[in-house]
Amino acid sequence: MTDSPSRVAVVTGAGRGIGAAVAARLAEDGFAVGLLDLDEAGVKQGAEAIVAKGGKAVGVALNVSDAEQVDAAVTRVADELGPPVVLVNNAGITRDNLIFKMTEQEWDSVLDVHLKGSFLMTRAVQKYMTQEKYGRIVNLSSTSALGNRGQVNYSAAKAGMQGFTKTLAIELGKFNVTANAIAPGFIATDMTAATAERLGMSFEDFKAAAASQIPVQRVGTPDDIAHLTSYLVSEGAGFVSGQVVYVAGGPKD
């Protein structure tokens, strides 16, 4: 790390998994990082690890679907680290069920975290980006956007993230702000481990079964997503906007 001023990135869902890996990678790239998550212990631990390596970071607990909490968290990051010009909307949950059994609460909670949360976070951060005439937004979609049994809520949310991304690219492009989406396939995280448990399978068997259907013959890791995020928020990605990149070990439509 250098003593030169760092650009500031905000990562939601940064308490574990993909979000934690992305936050750590952006810190390695020289960003000061605001780690946001409902899991206060997770983001504080992540921020402490970044600071211990010589970086700048702050961990803030919030519910991304609560407008007041979002505004307060973004203001705190701006006050402590500087104006945020990179936003990674990664916070997400699953509440899987078949359509005939899915409750309104299961539908609402998933749409609230993914779509409303991303809307609130982007609305709060874009004012700093437009003032700075520079910004990078990365939204986490999923291959489930193409349809996945038992995930009508999650699929709808992740498909919505793609339309959200493309519209942000159109609206914010004139301010030198790009917006892109990453759509992961099978990534080995606590969330996919929980799915294996729900299905009554060991996580190793679950990963092996998934890998057998993936052209590169392995499942993804959070670092796979962090690598692409690092590029999309870089100076060199300034002419890449409104795109959805599938990171799934093979082609997706």
By annotation, the residues acting in catalysis are 154
226 vs 233: CA distance, rounded Å: 11
Cα(108)–Cα(213) distance, integer angstroms: 32
Identify whether the C-beta of residue 1 lies closer than 8 Å to the C-beta of residue 30: yes
Edge to edge, the sheet with strand 84-89 lists 57-61, 32-37, 8-12, 84-89, 135-140, 177-184, 244-247
Give how far Cα 193 sits from Cα of 12, 200, 218, 246, Å: 20, 11, 15, 21
Which residues have CB under 8 Å from 174's CB, separation 6+? none
% helix, strand, coil for the chain, step of 5: 50, 15, 30
